[in-house]
Structures are given as structure tokens and as C-alpha cells.
Structure 1
């Protein structure tokens, strides 16, 4: 895990070792060297070990160049820190911060870890809710679409299906509405009665009662009742002549 900060106690300048260091020649520079080492240890994030790479230690020349200090200041600082048990140097000249856990922001790291975990949890829960909402919305929209299609299918079927308007007369809803609008309720009753009686008495079957009404029944109602000589008026005779010409089954 990357370390972005280290912990400095607010009593830093009250620390006996720090006070001793600051009283030395170039004391403030030595303090800066100490803070530099803490920061480098934080960057390495290896339990207080300081290095350029795991096989290459950070030497005094490197520190002097980074801080733009004389090498003598760095040498004095390292010697002082070693004497005060603030750092350790191994046989390969790798430097270690003593009691690193006192300088590393462990509490801050744990808090950050918990905050990050909580943030990730909230993000995950939010995505789960959004996903659920999308699925619910999708299902709702799909359900609404399916219902609309079903309602439309039912409506189309209702409109196209033929209904009985008399014992012998079948019309679609649209056909009936057109006739009602054109002839009115009273006149339409006469027309339907005329066709119903005629079909019942003659045993006639029309492919389209609606077409029969338009082609002869209306005229028959207007012109004359059924004749005794064969029972057909001129309008009906003309209708059947046309059917014969068109070779339509009646």
C-alpha cells in the first residue's frame, strides 16, 4: 500500500533528542536531514528501511545532493542519529528508522483503509440499486409495452370480429358504426330488419352483409317492400346479377 504521509508529533520540538540536535552546529539543517530520512522511509514503505532500490542503499552523497547540503552536514547528521539510536545502519550500509511504527501514520492508514472500504461498499450498493432500478424499469416498460400490444391486439380483434346484430346479420364493429353514422339509428333498424327477415325467409347467405346492405337493402327499404312474385325487388335482382358476373359465392 502506498504511503502518502508520515506522522510528526506536535511535541517534536519538545523532544529531548531534537532539542539536542538543534543546539548542535547546523542544528536546523540536521533536523531537516532527519525529516528527509523519515519521508524517504515512508516512500520506501518497507518497515522503516531507506534505499534507492532493494539492492542499493541511499548513501550520504545522495542525501547531500537531494538537500543541497555539504556532505559534512550529512555525515554529522547520520553519526548523530546513530548515536541517539534514531537510525540503524546494517553491514551493507542500509539505513533503518528506529521505532518506525511511531513515525508511520498507522492510525491514519487504518482510517483511510476503513474509509476506502466504506466508500467502495457505498459505491457497490449504489450500483446494485441502479442495476435493480434499471431491471425493474425495464421489466415495467416491457410489461407496459406487452400490455399495450395485447390491448391493441384485443382491440384489433374486437374491431375485426363480426358481431350478431340480428339473428341472420353479422357485421364488424366498424361496419356497424359506419352504417349508424350514415343512416341513423331508426333508419338502420329498418335496414337490418329488412335484411334479417329476408335472409331468414329465403335462407340466403351473403359473404358480406355489409356489402349487401349498401348494394340493395337500403334501396329496397326506400323503394318498395318485398314482392309477391318471387320476393325480390329490383335493387336485389341487380345485386344478384352483379354477383353472378363477379362469380362470387352467396
Structure 2
């Protein structure tokens, strides 16, 4: 992750009523210090306010306590309080600073955009390794031998022998299948990022691959992701990828193969499978 070198803080931060309330609580000054440190960590993560240890690993309360050298109870109490005050939210089991745009280093973000392609390239290389590991079907001992075919001659004797390397043929098939799956996964990852504003975790990559192994569900998966975003906007309630997976499980159990099946049988609003939708802006950060 290409982290920022500094973040913005309002000069009247300590005059804010929420900060004042926090400071008056037992351990309040420690919690305010933790809040400022959390903002700097979000800047280092540079992932639109997500508090990330790596691109695919989110910070846990225990990790934050170790990172900031604070008591775990203080960290947990602060996170609970920040969530109640709408200073943070939890999305996909990841802590997110609410309205991070209020704290962003705009100039740094411009610089970070220049590095975006490099981050995406590294991410895709990591996903490639994960994909190959998930599809690493090891060949059994039988595949190390060759198959012998006997061609009958005109006199009926099987004397003309031709050997075919089975392992080579299997490897060719696996390469073609791997390439197709990788292309499908790239489309799904694009839709995922434009809906949840982050890269897929290894767990969700595996979940997605498990679905793709069942059949050609690429368009159905993207449709479910887009529908998740639509329902989040309509209901004003965050719905994560677990919600998407539950939709997919229901659809697949009903025998649906594509978005047309869904719309024909359930009359879902058309969301399309185009993953080029522009992410909506985050809600501005306000202490009210």
C-alpha cells in the first residue's frame, strides 16, 4: 500500500463536543490519543479510510493494541465509543473512518493516484498466486505414465504402437481453464471494488472460485454484487459481500444461471452486469 506522509486535522478538533465528551470519560485522554493515531494509521493504509495491516488483512483490536502500545481494554472501549458516535463503522469486518475525505491528504492522494497502477499490478500478481494455489490440482501417479494405443493392422495383429503423453494433454487443458477463470475473476473483482471500495480478501476470492467451479456464474455473481450495492443505497444500511453470497446461494439453489433468469422469475430491478459503475462518495465526517 502506498501510504500518505501526512493527514489533515482541524484546529478546533479539541473544541468539538464529541471529543470533549470523550475526554471527560475515564481514560478519555487515552481514547482521544488513540483516535488521532487511528487517523494516522488510516493515512498509512491509504485505502479510503479502511484500517488495513496489508492489502488483504485488516487490523483487529488486538493488533491495534500492539501497534499503539495500549491496553486492549482501552482500545476496545474506544472503538465501541467511536462506533456509537458515528466516528467509525465496520465493513466486511474491517474498521473504516467515517467520511474519511474530511481527513485526507488531498495532495498525497493525487500522488497516490500515480502509484495506483502499481498497486493494482501487485494485487493482481498476488491474486494470480492465490488462484493458482486454489486450482493446483496435483496430478496423480497415474498421470506420470503414458497411455499406449495399439493400432490394428490389416492382418488383425496389434503391432503398431503409438504413445500419447497424457500428462502433457492434461496440463494444456488446465492452462486454458486457468486463463478463462482468471479473466472471469478479474471482471468480478472490478465489480467488487466498485461496490465495496476495496480489494477482495483471500477468503472471498476462494468463495468466488468455489462458485465458478460449479458453473458459468460470472454474470450472475456481478449481478448479485450490483444488487447488493443497489439495496445498500435504497435501504441506507451497509450490506457486505456475505449478503451477496447469500443471494447467490439462493439463486443457484433455484437453478438460475444468469441475470435474465433472476429478472424473469423474481422481477428484480435491473442492475446490469457492467462493473464500470463509479463508486459513490463517502458521507462527510461530522461530529454531531
| TM-score when normalising by structure 2 | 0.36
Structure with bigger helix share is 1
Higher relative contact order (CA 8 A, sep 6+): 2
**TM value normalised by structure 1:** 0.42
